[in-house]
Amino acid sequence: MGAMKKTATRTETSPETGTDTDTTADTETAAGMRADADADMGRDAGTDAGSSTDAGARARTGRAERAARAGAAVSAGRLAGKTALVTGGSRGIGRGIAERLGRDGALVAVHYGTNEAAAKETVAAIERSGGSAFAIGAELGRPGDARALWSAFDAHADGLDILVNNAGIGTSRPFADTDEAEFDRLFAVNAKAPYFITQLALERLRDGGRIINISSGVSHAAVLPDIMTYAMTKGALDVFTRNLSKVLGPRGITVNAVAPGIVDTDVNAAWLRGEENREAREGAAAMSALGRVGTVEDIADVVAFLAAPDGRWVTGQWIDATGGSLA
């Protein structure tokens, strides 16, 4: 349902967007900034140069110690030693998922289609939280896209444990206005690309691994019939999920689909945010049984559960993460 937006998105853009926030890290960073400010104020007031130097040194030491603690927490996370790939990880739900898996200890490959700068920002955010990540580019929906993606991945990592097929594009054209070019483009990016990315992943994906496909609530309910073609691509992804779980079960690999509803992201910002869009936001919130619009964290947490050891006995499932919008 995250495809409910006014214009189509780029390949690297998942149906939703946003970032996670580490409250502890933010608090500690603020403390470090105050220490730096105190040191600067001392110098400006003409205080002893040695005292200013000492204050600056203490601030730098404090930041180093906080970074070390964050790194230690990540290295002890439940995904420590695992490698994950998130397609469309430069923005949207993809970025939120990448950041969450990074905080849980995984080395994260952040895939992007065309927006390299956004991917590098996501990598930097993961690293600031003490995690490890790298960016890889491959524009999906083109011939050879899956091979190009894995060629870029192989230059950075040896083997895979978690694959999140998140990249997707949407449409705002109703059934009567959809032409063959748009139909083919939607299926190429949203259904064909994850199919062949996953096929080529199997020689890299270790036994006991995880495959998580980002679907949509619209694949199970005709709540937005004007985006029928998009819904059909997600329906294909759901069928792929169920059948692939049987194919890979003997290797202990779980395969599941997570279906977001309407999520507050920069893709949806044009009609969800701002005082002028209050009515649209209230209408979107009313669709959820919980009375609010979803957040990126809401979806990333579900994915994190499936990626972790806790999700070992769940496979072949379509998980409703719409906040009860389909209830």
**Catalytic-role residue among 90, 129, 215, 325:** 215
Instruction: Choose one of 43, 68, 93: the last residue of a domain.
Output: 68
HSE toward the beta carbon, residue 26, CA cutoff 13 A: 4
Ramachandran category for residue 47: left, alpha or beta (phi over 0 → left; psi -120 to 50 → alpha): beta
Q: Is 326 part of any domain?
A: no
Domain that holds residue 262: 80-321
Residue 326 phi, psi (nearest 5):
-100, 5
For residue 302, what are its two tokens?
């579900």
- What pLDDT score does 2 carry? 46
Q: Which residue has the higher pLDDT, 260 or 21?
A: 260
d(CA 102, CA 94): 12
Average pLDDT of the segment spanning 265-280:
77
d(CA 110, CA 119): 6
Same domain, 253 and 226: yes
The angle formed by the CA atoms of residues 196, 198 and 200, to the nearest 5 degrees, is 70
Q: What CATH number is given to the structural domain containing 181? A: 3.40.50.720
Same domain, 162 and 305: yes
d(CA 182, CA 171): 8
Same domain, 60 and 174: no
**Catalytic-role residue among 14, 52, 234, 325:** 234
Same domain, 48 and 185: no
Same domain, 35 and 107: no
Helix-helix angle 116-128:92-103, to 10 degrees: 30
Same domain, 60 and 131: no
Token pair 């220490």 in the structure block, residue: 35
Going by pLDDT thresholds of 50, 70 and 90, the confidence category of residue 55 is low
**Catalytic-role residue among 52, 216, 245, 288:** 216
Average pLDDT of the segment spanning 260-279:
80
d(CA 134, CA 154): 12
- What pLDDT score does 96 carry? 96
Asked if the model's pLDDT at residue 6 lies above 70, the reply is: no
Q: Which residue has the higher pLDDT, 188 or 65?
A: 188
Same domain, 163 and 277: yes
Over residues 196-220, the pLDDT tens digits come to 999 999 999 999 999 999 999 989 9
Q: Which residue has the higher pLDDT, 48 or 35?
A: 48
- What pLDDT score does 226 carry? 83
Reduced to 3 states, what is the DSSP secondary structure of residue 318? strand
What percent of the chain is modeled with pLDDT above 90? 62
Q: Is 2 part of any domain?
A: no
Going by pLDDT thresholds of 50, 70 and 90, the confidence category of residue 279 is confident
Nearest to 145 by CA among 84, 213, 206, 87: 87
Asked if the model's pLDDT at residue 159 lies above 80, the reply is: yes
Same domain, 53 and 134: no
Q: Is 188 part of any domain?
A: yes
Asked if the model's pLDDT at residue 40 lies above 70, the reply is: no
46-55, 147-156, 212-221: lowest mean pLDDT where?
Answer: 46-55
Cβ–Cβ under 8 Å, residues 123 and 135? yes
Asked if the model's pLDDT at residue 71 lies above 70, the reply is: no
Average pLDDT of the segment spanning 150-157:
98
- What pLDDT score does 187 carry? 97
Same domain, 168 and 224: yes
Same domain, 133 and 204: yes
Q: Is 15 part of any domain?
A: no
- What pLDDT score does 270 carry? 73
Mean pLDDT of the chain: 82
Cβ–Cβ under 8 Å, residues 175 and 188? no
Asked if the model's pLDDT at residue 250 lies above 60, the reply is: yes
HEC string for 150-192:
HHHHHCCCCCEEEEEECCCCCCCCCHHHCCHHHHHHHHHHHHH
d(CA 166, CA 88): 6
Q: Is 75 part of any domain?
A: no
Q: Is 229 part of any domain?
A: yes
Going by pLDDT thresholds of 50, 70 and 90, the confidence category of residue 66 is low
Instruction: Choose one of 68, 102, 120: the last residue of a domain.
Output: 68
**Catalytic-role residue among 230, 245, 288, 325:** 230
Same domain, 42 and 157: no
Q: Is 219 a catalytic site residue?
A: no
Same domain, 142 and 241: yes
Q: Is 63 part of any domain?
A: yes
Reduced to 3 states, what is the DSSP secondary structure of residue 321? strand
Q: Is 46 part of any domain?
A: yes
Q: Is 112 a catalytic site residue?
A: no
Query: Can you list the alpha helix ranges (DSSP code H) found in the chain?
Result: 23-44, 49-75, 92-103, 116-128, 145-154, 180-187, 193-201, 228-248, 269-272, 278-287, 296-307
Domain count, the chain: 2
Asked if the model's pLDDT at residue 10 lies above 60, the reply is: no
Going by pLDDT thresholds of 50, 70 and 90, the confidence category of residue 276 is confident
Q: Is 216 a catalytic site residue?
A: yes
Cβ–Cβ under 8 Å, residues 102 and 132? yes
